[in-house]
A and B are shown apart, each in its own frame.
Chain A
Amino acid sequence: MINWDNFYVFATLSVGLWLAGAVFALRSSTRSRMAVGFTIAGIMVLGIFIAGLWEYLQRPPLRTMGETRLWYSFFMGIAGLLTYIRWKYRWILSFSTLLSTVFVVINLLKPEIHDQSLMPALQSVWFIPHVTVYMFSYSVLGCAFIIAVTGLFCHKEEYLQTADNLVYAGVAFLSIGMLLGSLWAKEAWGNYWSWDPKETWAVITWMGYLIYIHLRLFGRVGSKSLYVLLIFSFLALQMCWYGVNYLPAAQQSIHLYNRNN
């Protein structure tokens, strides 16, 4: 019987397989078959757990925060693998493994979340794609942030090229997340865009990265300014992700799901 009680077995197994895949990818200059194989195995193990849990619960495991975290991990594995196969970025698997593992570990350490209820506003087909796509873009842009900080101290031209790759992928997902969110907002609240604090900070983040893209194409600015722009955009992203919860101007936000109002 597959349920949360034996999640640790599946969790350890899939994280182990993903780590092995990530190591193979890092050590190989071309696409590594071993990396692909291990990552697929890790995804399948988690997939079997989700299917088993579905069977056990007699409903799709999409309701509680713990259940949605399972899907984050699962999708993160798939997204990382697809990116690796298509573009052969050797670092991508390490990064997707790290992010998947974080969600798996939260599920292991905080079992009480499995019973927590999901408020009606979040019960929508848009919930999972909106959030997972955003999570993926946050992780990719987090990587661009690390490169920007490194480049600020010791600039290399290839850092900016890597940052370009990351920012294009990150902005693509950021846009998809935002646009899916706007379609969802119309269904839930009646308007695509209402300048709610979370939306405002999301668009500030988005435009920060758009300026980076346009400056790289047309601007004559130094590498320092570009790195600083990436860092500021990432700070805006933090503001959007959780910073608005603490912002005095944002206490009326409709996006605050962490308290009952």
Chain B
Amino acid sequence: MRYVYVTGYLSLAAIIQLLMGNFPLSFVAFPLNIVFAVIWLFLLWKLYKESRKSAFTRFLYSPQTSILSIFLLIAGSLIIGLFPQLSDVEAAMRTGVWALLGCYNFMTSWIFIAILFLLLSNLAMITFHAYYHRKTARWRFLLNHAGLWLALFAGFFGSSDTRTLRIPLYKGEPAREAFDMNGVSYHLDYEMELRSFSVEYYPNGSPSRFAAEVRLGDDEALLEVNHPYSYRLGEDVYLTSYDMASGNESKYCVLQVVIQPWKYIMVAGILMMLAGAVLLFINGPKKCVNLKKV
């Protein structure tokens, strides 16, 4: 029966995808994503507390659903791994069945989001269940599953609030106009200026290090690859490229501003999973053998 429901659920997602195109991420930007998440979690919690015996609740927290949703996520990831993933503009120009199903930007396809939604609902349910009832390896279970939930949740819901902007910055020309990946321009509320730029080379001529001294609003910062500058909460500035042909004489460099207010929740999830992975190694499989009966 489970397979019939899930097939129906995914077919519905596919029909919505065919009718409406990819999921409108910008629609669920803050605060709508928070509102939606709170309602969703509240409903799951109600279901778990008040109608645990119902077939739907049992479906949501059964291990078989976990296995099925991981399997579906593998299938979805295979599509992402085998089809070239394009920007929204490029993907819109593709034609054919695969393009209609959103395979060229599958991360925002309704089908993929439906799979993620199923997995996250299942993860939330089993986390509730483990919190109340689990006896063995409880911390390991909670860290791994709740950590994954937090990281995926923040990645998925947070993506509508995430902005990645690029700014070409010329020496002596302060700028505040940035562009997103689709070329739409944005005005930053602070000004940037390139003070100086330097490249160091290996004996074989390839660049070993490049750095830019910049002014960001009232802050002075040294930007390097792997060393972004944290301008304010949830907003980091990166040095991405420069005029490779001119090297030290480069007249400009390209900065990237990433505004990601949800990053702290993602880091919390990642750290929890790191701790969970360490426990997975230390305790190994033995303690879980008894769980077959649960």
Residues of chain A touching chain B, judged by Cβ–Cβ distance below 8 Å, are 87, 115-121, 123-124, 164-165, 167-169, 171-173, 175-176, 179-180, 182-184, 186-193, 195, 197, 200-201, 203-204, 207-208, 210-211, 213-219, 239, 247-250, 252, 260
Give CA–CA (A216, B291) in the complex, Å: 11
Interface residues of B in 224-256 (CB under 8 A from A): 224-228, 236, 238, 256
Q: Decide: A208 and B226 in contact? CB cutoff 8 A.
A: no
Please give, as numbers and ranges, the residues of chain A lying within 8 Å of B66 by CB-CB distance.
214, 218
Q: What mask results when residues 271 to 294 of chain B are scored 1 for a CB within 8 Å of chain A, else 0?
A: 001101110110011001001100
Q: How far is the CA of A188 from the CA of B256 in the complex (A)?
A: 11
Give the bracket for the number of chain B residues in contact with chain A: 35 or more
Known: A120-B226, A175-B277, A249-B83. A217 touches B288 (CB 8 A): yes
**CA gap between A116 and B210 in the complex, in Å:** 18
Q: Assuming A120-B210, A168-B285, is B204 touching A190 (CB within 8 A)?
A: no
Partner among A172, A201, A217 whose Cβ is within 8 Å of the Cβ of B63: A217
Q: Which residues of B contact A195 (CB under 8 A)?
A: 80, 85, 107
Query: In the complex where A207-B74, A217-B288 touch, is A176 in contact with B64 (Cβ < 8 A)?
Result: no
CA distance A191 to B281 in the complex (A): 27
The residues of B with any CB-CB pair to A shorter than 8 Å are 63-64, 66-67, 70-71, 73-74, 77-78, 80-85, 107, 151, 155, 162, 164, 202-204, 206-210, 224-228, 236, 238, 256, 258, 260, 263, 266-267, 270, 273-274, 276-278, 280-281, 284-285, 288, 291-292
Q: Is the CB of B285 within 8 A of A215?
A: no
Given A115-B204, A190-B236, A195-B107, answer yes or no on A204-B280 (Cβ-Cβ < 8 Å): no
Question: Contacts A120-B226, A192-B266, A195-B85 hold; do A211 and B284 have CB atoms under 8 A apart?
Answer: no
Q: Taking A117-B206, A176-B277 as contacts, is the C-beta distance between A204 and B81 under 8 angstroms?
A: yes
CB distance from A191 to the nearest CB of B (A): 7
**Pair B63/A176 contact, Cβ less than 8 Å:** no
Q: What chain A residues lie within 8 Å of B206 (beta carbons)?
A: 117, 119, 260
Task: Report B283 CB to chain A, min CB distance, Å.
Answer: 8
Out of A115, A169, A200, A210, name the residue touching B80 (CB < 8 Å).
Answer: A200
The answer, among B63, B225, B263, for a CB contact under 8 Å with A188, is B225
- Contact partner of A121 (CB less than 8 A), chosen from B67, B226, B267, B278, is B226
**Could you tell me if B70 and A211 are in contact, using CB atoms closer than 8 angstroms?**
yes
Q: Would you call B164 and A190 a contact (CB within 8 A)? A: yes
Instruction: Using CB atoms, name the residue of chain B closest to A243.
Output: B81
Q: A210-B70, A211-B71 are in contact. List 8 more A-B contacts (CB 8 A).
A: A116-B204, A119-B206, A123-B209, A167-B285, A191-B164, A191-B258, A214-B66, A214-B67
